Amino acid sequence: MKKIFIIFSVIVIQNGYSQDTISIKKNPVENHSEKIPLDVGELKIKLNSKGDQWIRFGISSQIWLRSIDNNPGTSVNGVPQEQTYDAGIRRMRLTIQSQLTPYYSVFLQMGINNQNFISGGGTGTGNNGAGKKAPFFFHDAYNELAIIPRNNFHTGEPNKNNLYLGAGLHSWNGVSRLTNASTTKMLAGDIPIFNFPSIEIADQFSRQLGVFIHGEFDRLNYRFSINKPFATNLKPVVGGPAVDNNQSGKLSYSGYAFYQFFNKETTVTSFLSGNNLSAKKVLNIGAGFYTSKDATQSQPSENTFKSHPANIFGADIYSEIPLGNKSKEMGLTLYSVYYNYNYGTNYLRISGLLNPGGPDPTFTGQRALEGAGNNRILMGTGNIWFSQAGFVIPKFSNILKIQPFFNYALKNMKALNQSGSYYDIGANFYLYGQNARIVAQYSSRPLYDITSKTIFDRKGEFLLSLQIVL
């Protein structure tokens, strides 16, 4: 990396895979002499005098600025570039949650994703070209019925068990905690993306259309769904890998459950936090799955096609441990997950977030299997082990709190001849709890040779992100 360019990111209220409620969080901030609680309120309208019918709104925006070491043979807007600086909208959201009766609620989330100066919108150079006017679409749109509510509607007392039933475009996903991740409570600058097994292939930004149940049985939190995957129809080459083709129209089935040993979490929406600054002692162990028949297709010989199921399994552990004197607000956050993916013969996904580059036709050097820009091996048939750790250092200021973190992913894909290590290292700087967070991060990715399928180089990316949740 020749230069370091800073990334600036702003997140307002709800974001992508949101926090576990839409209400805006309230955090106390201290001055040097006394505690002054700053109440940012919430965008909520009561629909009756009792207050059990309401509508709540949220808005979010996340802006990225980056410095990227491009893969060899990259062209950006027709110009060869080894390094690219860019700006983009990672996520923008409008959310609406309404409780129409004590038993019935509606959740809507809409917005855009991944728009930068050259991608995410239209193509060309006209009014709707070179990344301009990104499409605005629904992320979540589902209705939910309380079969057994969390709290008794008549007495207000909590129920030991609860059960909810819903339908629509939703993200009550299976496989892992990270597959249900909140992006307003991430430990690092972003989530690794391979946690979503059909992201933007058979789903809509990790969502599918279908029915779901979720709830708690004592300390066991669970969610299960039956969905209709979005249609895919890629054609495989003779003797090549399996590709996404679910033309037979089979359903998908998914589920995830985790046991809570210490403090319990409230899952009002599907999104699970990955970082609560170790405010409470948490230890959760979970497992989940995603399966869909005839999800991919290969062509072993000329005009002979073979369908393959997508079968994904995940198992994980999540822990937050307060350490030392409570007044020091010190603690450790740990997460580790194992994924086993099976999409068919040598299936491989390659992707790069807000990728600014394309192939340079004049390049004569060694190209990477990943292609151009910041593309990386995302996932495929094989295994991935991902772990992250964060440590909130002892309190030294009434305003600033610091949390260094480290991510590591080990990917062992059947289509490759060498396992690959991916890592992120950085620190969170909190100015207003989870509501105002600056993230400084460096990421490193391996590059694979097209012929040998082994690693021949590494590239990096720098990030500085500011998160605001009002």
Per-residue pLDDT of 285-305, as tens digits, reads 999 999 999 999 999 999 999
| pLDDT score recorded for residue 43 | 84
CATH of residue 281's domain is 2.40.160.10
What mean pLDDT do residues 448-458 have? Answer: 98
In this structure, is residue 52 part of a structural domain?
yes
DSSP letter, residue 329: T
Q: How many domains does the chain have?
A: 1
**Per-residue pLDDT at 316:** 98
- The tens digit of pLDDT for each residue in 22-71 reads 333 344 434 433 443 444 557 899 998 888 889 999 888 888 989 999 99
Query: Does the pLDDT value for residue 330 go beyond 90?
Result: yes
User: Tens digits of per-residue pLDDT, 58-111?
Assistant: 888 888 989 999 999 999 999 999 999 999 899 888 999 999 888 999 999 999
Residues 98 and 395 sit within 8 Å (Cβ to Cβ): no
Rounded to an integer, the average pLDDT of 166-176 is 97
Query: What pLDDT, on a 0 to 100 scale, did the predictor assign at position 50?
Result: 82
Residue 157 pLDDT level (bands cut at 50, 70, 90) = confident
pLDDT of residue 11: 34
Assigned domain for 354 exists: yes
Per-residue model confidence (pLDDT) at position 62: 86
Does the residue 11 lie in any domain? no
User: pLDDT confidence of 21, banded at 50, 70, 90?
Assistant: very low
| Calpha distance 306→323 (Å, rounded) | 54
Between the two ends of the chain, the Cα-to-Cα distance in Å is: 35
Average pLDDT over the chain, rounded to an integer: 90
- Per the domain annotation, does 85 fall within a domain? yes
Whether 151 has a pLDDT exceeding 90, the answer reads no
Residue 17 is assigned to a structural domain of this protein: no
In a domain, 127, yes or no: yes
Lowest mean pLDDT among 122-136, 202-216, 327-341, 378-392: 122-136
Is it the case that residue 251 has pLDDT exceeding 90?
A: yes
Residue 322 lies in a domain: yes
- 278 found inside a domain: yes
5 confidence band (pLDDT: 50, 70, 90): very low
> pTM of the full predicted structure?
0.90
Angstrom distance (rounded) from CA 74 to CA 356? 9
Q: pLDDT value at position 23?
A: 35
Tell me the residue range of the domain where 76 lies: 27-468
Going by the DSSP 8-state scheme, the letter that residue 230 receives in this structure is P
What's the rounded mean pLDDT across residues 375-382? 98
Report how far apart, in Å, the C-alpha atoms of 60 and of each of 8, 12, 14, 96, 137 are: 15, 4, 5, 12, 14
User: What would the mean pLDDT of 367-389 be, rounded to a whole number?
Assistant: 98
Q: In this model, does residue 270 exceed pLDDT 60?
A: yes
pLDDT exceeding 70 applies to what percent of the chain?
91
Q: Is the dihedral of CA 248, 249, 251, 252 positive or negative?
A: positive
Strand partners, 420: 411
